[in-house]
């Protein structure tokens, strides 16, 4: 960005890709200076009406896509020169915003709206001096991101690297790990990996763990969705109390709650069965599915359901065509919060399950605490982590492909 002129309380800026921009004057900015130009999505207005041409900084373009995000809608606008801008429009905005949104939504997502005009509504912080603001911004980013980065490096990456190295070591004579170097030579081996892949029992335990995690997640979703929907549609004065009731079990100790299930299931002869394991898993992890679903459902605009009803959609059609697609982010968040912890859970299968209900979490715990075979325990932990990452990557790729095809 280069400041071409600074007069009469305004700046005339030459911005790459946008051409000439008129912005409010900033103290100390002079003609000829170069700087950084920042345009936030909430500073961009989208209108399908030609009277927008009367405003400064207007551009012709095409709305390529829009995304409803509860209280706001994000529009992706491609200008005639190929520059792509994002505009953030409040769904509750009155007046012209509503009429603009109606005109834009009259076409399907991805359709070309030739008469659309993208108008920038610049505030005084749209143009800044690069040598001062840019440096301050980088320093601020470093100060904000450094503590969590150090935390992850120390408490996540470092233990993961230690486990990675331990998986290639030999077990110690009395448990633990054998020395990493003997007589200056690395004392490493692939023995634990060969042992894992040579015995099908480990694959069976992995498969059983994934099936239990999938069943628990599905049951939690089936139970949590109507409850979260009920809370989201309840009067506001009751919502806080209902959410409090959802998280109330966390006020008691985890083991006490599991022992309560032992007391409940024992007389019914259901203890030490797969049913007991699934029931305990669902009980413990159900709030982790309810909360993200409620957070998502609460933000849905009721006007969308009203519009669907006006168009003749029944209750079931409104749910599957409006509510359910909009709640997918909450579903994926709840799925991750339930599925991944269940995979590593060992306390519930150990207390409620029988000998045939051992999961990968129990196997890892036994290697570290009972057998003291740390290399095998590290190998199992790494393979479980890799399996979860592959599954998460596949889910992200599938979701990206689905959105691109849509």
- Give alpha helix (H) positions in 155-199: 158-166, 191-198
Task: Pick left, alpha or beta for residue 63 (phi over 0 → left; psi -120 to 50 → alpha; otherwise beta).
Answer: beta
Where do we find the tokens 């002869």?
A: 269
Whole-number pLDDT of residue 326: 93
- Domain ranges for the chain: 1-37, 40-125, 181-405
The predicted pLDDT at position 115 comes to 43
Helices (H), 298-359: 302-310, 315-318, 324-326, 328-344, 347-352
In 3D, which of 221, 116, 222, 162 has the Cα closest to residue 377? 162
pLDDT along the chain (406 residues), means of 10: 60 73 65 70 69 62 76 80 80 44 42 46 43 64 89 90 94 89 89 93 94 97 97 93 94 93 93 95 97 95 90 93 93 94 94 89 93 94 93 82 66
CA distances 403 to 127, 176, 336, Å, are: 35, 48, 20
- Distance between CA 375 and CA 387 in Å, rounded? 18
Quick one: pLDDT at residue 105? Answer: 45
C-alpha 401/C-alpha 406 separation (Å) is 8
The SS3 of residue 401 is: helix
Which architecture characterizes domain 40-125 according to CATH? Beta Barrel (2.40)
Note the pLDDT of residue 86: 83
Q: Quote the pLDDT of residue 14.
A: 76
Q: How are beta strands 10-15 and 19-24 bridged, if at all?
A: antiparallel
- What per-residue confidence (pLDDT) applies to 224? 97
Number of H helices and E strands in the chain, helices first, is 15, 12
Fold of the CATH domain 181-405 = MetI-like fold (1.10.3720)
CA nearest to 220, candidates 345, 335, 329? 335
Supply the pLDDT for residue 281.
Answer: 97
The CA-based dihedral angle spanning residues 149, 152, 154, 156, taken in that order and rounded to the nearest 10 degrees = -160
CA dihedral 153, 158, 161, 166 (to 10 degrees): -170
Distance (Å, rounded) from C-alpha 336 to C-alpha 348? 19
Strand partners, 24: 10
């Amino acid at each position: 960005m280069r400041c071409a002129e600074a007069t009469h309380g305004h700046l005339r800026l030459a911005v790459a890709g946008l051409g000439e921009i008129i912005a409010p004057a900033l103290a100390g900015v002079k003609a000829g200076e170069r700087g950084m130009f920042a345009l936030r999505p909430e500073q961009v207005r989208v209108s399908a009406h030609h009277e927008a041409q009367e405003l400064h900084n207007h551009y012709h373009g095409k709305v390529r896509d829009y995304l409803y995000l509860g209280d706001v809608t994000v529009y992706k606008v491609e200008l005639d020169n190929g520059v792509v801008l994002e505009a953030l429009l409040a769904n509750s905005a009155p007046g012209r915003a509503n009429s603009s949104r109606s005109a834009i939504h009259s076409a399907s997502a991805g359709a070309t709206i030739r008469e659309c005009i993208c108008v920038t509504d610049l505030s005084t912080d749209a143009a800044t001096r690069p040598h001062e603001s840019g440096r301050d911004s980088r320093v601020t980013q470093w100060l904000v991101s450094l503590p969590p980065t150090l935390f992850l490096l120390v408490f996540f990456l470092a233990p993961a690297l230690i486990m990675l190295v331990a998986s290639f070591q030999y077990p110690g004579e009395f448990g633990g790990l054998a020395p990493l170097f003997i007589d200056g030579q690395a004392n490493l081996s692939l023995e634990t990996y060969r042992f894992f892949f040579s015995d099908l029992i480990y694959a069976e335990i992995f498969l059983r763990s994934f099936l239990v995690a999938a069943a628990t997640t599905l049951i939690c979703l089936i139970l949590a969705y109507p409850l979260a929907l009920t809370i989201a549609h309840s009067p506001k004065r009751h919502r806080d109390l209902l959410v409090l009731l959802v998280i109330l079990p966390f006020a008691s100790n985890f083991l006490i709650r599991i022992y309560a299930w032992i007391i409940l299931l024992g007389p019914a002869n259901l203890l030490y069965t797969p049913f007991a394991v699934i029931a305990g898993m669902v009980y413990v992890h159900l709030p982790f599915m309810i909360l993200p679903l409620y957070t998502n459902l609460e933000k849905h605009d009721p006007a969308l359901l009203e519009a669907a009803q006006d168009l003749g959609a029944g209750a079931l059609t409104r749910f599957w065509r409006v509510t359910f697609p909009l709640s997918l982010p909450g579903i994926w968040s709840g799925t991750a919060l339930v599925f991944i912890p269940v995979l590593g859970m060992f306390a519930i299968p150990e207390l409620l399950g029988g000998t045939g209900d051992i999961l990968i979490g129990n196997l890892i715990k036994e290697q570290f605490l009972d057998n003291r075979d740390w290399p095998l325990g590290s190998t199992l932990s790494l393979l479980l982590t890799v399996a979860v990452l592959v599954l998460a990557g596949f889910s992200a790729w599938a979701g990206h492909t689905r959105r691109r095809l849509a």
